Amino acid sequence: MSTETVTQPEEPPELVFGRELRRLRLARGWTLDVLGARVGYSGTMVGYFELAKRPVPEAFVATAEEALGLQGELAVLWKEINPKHTPKWFRQWPKIEKAALAIRTWEPLVMPGLLQTEAYARSLLSAEPGATAEQVEEMVRARLERQSLFEGATPPMYAAVIDEGVLRRPIGGGKVMREQLERLLVLAAHPKFVIQVVPVGVGATPGLLGGFAIAQLPHGHDTAYLESASHGQVTDRVEEVRAISLRFDAIRAWAHPRHITEGIIRETAERYG
């Protein structure tokens, strides 16, 4: 029986951080007071951090890393507790992407996030109303970190269907777009990637209402992410995922095959020259 939750309830990141902090402290043979003295906090407060009873300040993480001789291990866990500028409804999706065996995605308006170059992502995210330069850079880093899932020994199969209008929308200007499309050509030649373009001449398609992605997980239960202007949704409800999968297949039926898609991308990139 399906539920609205994507996976079994995960342990809160605060508890994960606290448990790892305790493990690292005990590996050194230190008491709470010893670690506290080295980082400028009371042993009692360190104990609270380990038990997830108090919010962990970023300053504590930096001093604890130095005291314990670490290289970012605690910082990574702390970011799970305090993901800046990442909507709560989206935070689960990058974890699903990392676990996926295959990802299928449809994008009618912009380049899929997992395919974006740094410059394209920066230009796109800079358009976010009210975003400061610092916030934009943090969002760009977060987006690029998601792409690291393709750098592992067993990256997922990735199939992207993109509306042709995405190639022609000059996000960031000609230089940025040419670099972006050249990256697409490199990825399109990789055996783990399938990139196809739906021609604008098709007119109305079932995908014009919004983008989405479908992740195939190791246990065989697909999960989907749906986009909208202000928020998104992650679901593993069988009937919803099945409907989204059928929509993907219907859209893909209108797409050019791979070799024609690559020609369109190459031709469009040259126009941005």
Classify 79 as helix, strand or coil.
Answer: helix
What is the rounded CA–CA span in Å between residue 175 and residue 187?
19
Single out the residue of 135, 134, 115, 95 nearest to residue 225, CA to CA: 95
Quick: pLDDT tens for 130-139: 888 888 888 8
What is the rounded CA–CA span in Å between residue 124 and residue 111?
10
Domains located in the chain, CATH noted: 13-81 (1.10.260.40), 92-271 (3.30.870)
Residue 2 has pLDDT above 50, yes or no: no
Count of CB atoms situated within 10 Å of the CB of 12: 12
Q: What is the pLDDT of residue 33?
A: 95
Segments of the chain assigned E as strands: 102-107, 157-163, 193-198, 212-216, 223-226, 233-235
194 forms beta bridges with 159
Q: What is the pLDDT of residue 1?
A: 42
Q: What is the pLDDT of residue 93?
A: 84
What is the rounded CA–CA span in Å between residue 22 and residue 44?
13
Burial bucket for residue 145 (CB in 10 Å: 0-12, 13-18, 19+): exposed
Task: Calculate ∠ Cα 66-71-77, nearest 5°.
Answer: 95
Q: Alpha carbon of 47 to those of 19, 35, 80, 234: distances in Å?
A: 11, 10, 20, 35
In this structure, of 33-47, 71-85, 92-106, the range with the lowest mean pLDDT score is: 71-85
Q: How confident is the model at residue 10 (pLDDT cuts 50, 70, 90)?
A: low
Quick: pLDDT tens for 195-232: 999 999 998 888 888 999 999 998 777 999 998 765 67
Q: What is the DSSP string of 129-175?
A: TT--HHHHHHHHHHHHHHGGGGGSSSPPEEEEEEEHHHHHS-TT-HH
pTM above 0.75, yes or no: no
Q: Which tops the pLDDT comparison, 273 or 150?
A: 150
Burial bucket for residue 122 (CB in 10 Å: 0-12, 13-18, 19+): buried
Q: How confident is the model at residue 5 (pLDDT cuts 50, 70, 90)?
A: very low
CA 121 centroid distance within chain: 12
CB-side neighbour CA atoms (13 Å) of 207: 31
